[in-house]
């Protein structure tokens, strides 16, 4: 593993115990997704990251906004809450 990646991962590991449960869950999920990628997919992801960092801030914000919109659109809509049966009805 390259020194830069090792240093970054060790930094996350050192901060992990102090993170909230939600932050820890997010880290575990992201590591799980990353570990399932092929070496080629990882290289593509790194290349995209580098290209994104080289864009002007306005363009990055636009890309991020579109990405967030797609993520929100993909979220399943929660079903409406069920109503409790009415008590004391006549029989």
Q: Render pLDDT for 44-78 as a digit per residue (tens, 0 to 9).
A: 999 999 999 999 999 999 999 998 999 889 887 66
- Is the pLDDT score of 32 beyond 70? yes
User: In terms of pTM, does the model score above 0.85?
Assistant: no
Q: In whole angstroms, give the CA distance from residue 28 to residue 81.
A: 31
Dihedral pair phi/psi, residue 90, rounded to 5°: -80, 140
């Amino acid at each position: 593993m390259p020194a830069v990646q090792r240093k970054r991962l060790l930094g996350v590991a050192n901060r992990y115990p102090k993170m909230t449960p939600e932050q820890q869950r997010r880290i575990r999920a992201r590591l799980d997704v990353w570990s399932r990628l092929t070496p080629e997919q990882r290289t593509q992801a790194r290349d995209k990251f580098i290209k994104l960092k080289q864009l002007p801030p306005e363009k990055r914000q636009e890309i991020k906004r579109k990405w967030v919109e797609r993520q929100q659109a993909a979220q399943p809509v929660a079903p409406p809450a069920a109503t409790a049966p009415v008590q004391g009805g006549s029989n």
